[in-house]
Structure 1
């Protein structure tokens, strides 16, 4: 993943600063809410990608087990 929580926060802060420069006032609560939502979405996406949740993920886990590449070996 190319973004992490601090990167998203800085990016949203940059957008808010640019909007303020051009005279658009963004309430701090709104900026925090947008940042929190973006971080929550990132957390869910990361959890999905780093765990064997989908059918394809289960197949990958089984293939890794057969090769002895997971903790616990060939159980």
Structure 2
């Protein structure tokens, strides 16, 4: 059985849950018992903010966007560990 990086699994699960929640909000199906005013205002804003932050976090952590990440990519390619 493959051993997955714990951070990657956590980021993926959190992003999936946030995206699912965002889809439900877009379809006016809120999984929490809230009033219409709460859904229209605070919940939608917080849900969108959380989804955006998690998406940015997942993208940043899984790509070589920092200087250190670029250096790691070069080493991985040189060692034949990355295409």
Q: TM-score, normalised by structure 2?
A: 0.58
| Number of aligned residue pairs | 62
Give the greater-gyration-radius structure (CA).
Answer: 1
Q: Runs (4+) of structure 1 moved beyond 4 Å?
A: none
Query: Residue 4 of structure 1: CA displacement?
Result: 2.5
Whether contact under 8 Å (2:64, 2:70) holds in the other structure is yes
Q: TM-score, normalised by structure 1?
A: 0.64
Match of 2:39 in 1: 28
After superposition, the CA RMSD in angstroms is 2.5
Residues 36, 5 of structure 1: CA spacing in aligned structure 2 closer, same or farther, 3 A cutoff?
Answer: farther
Whether contact under 8 Å (2:76, 2:82) holds in the other structure is yes
- Structure 1 residue runs without a partner (length 5+): 21-25
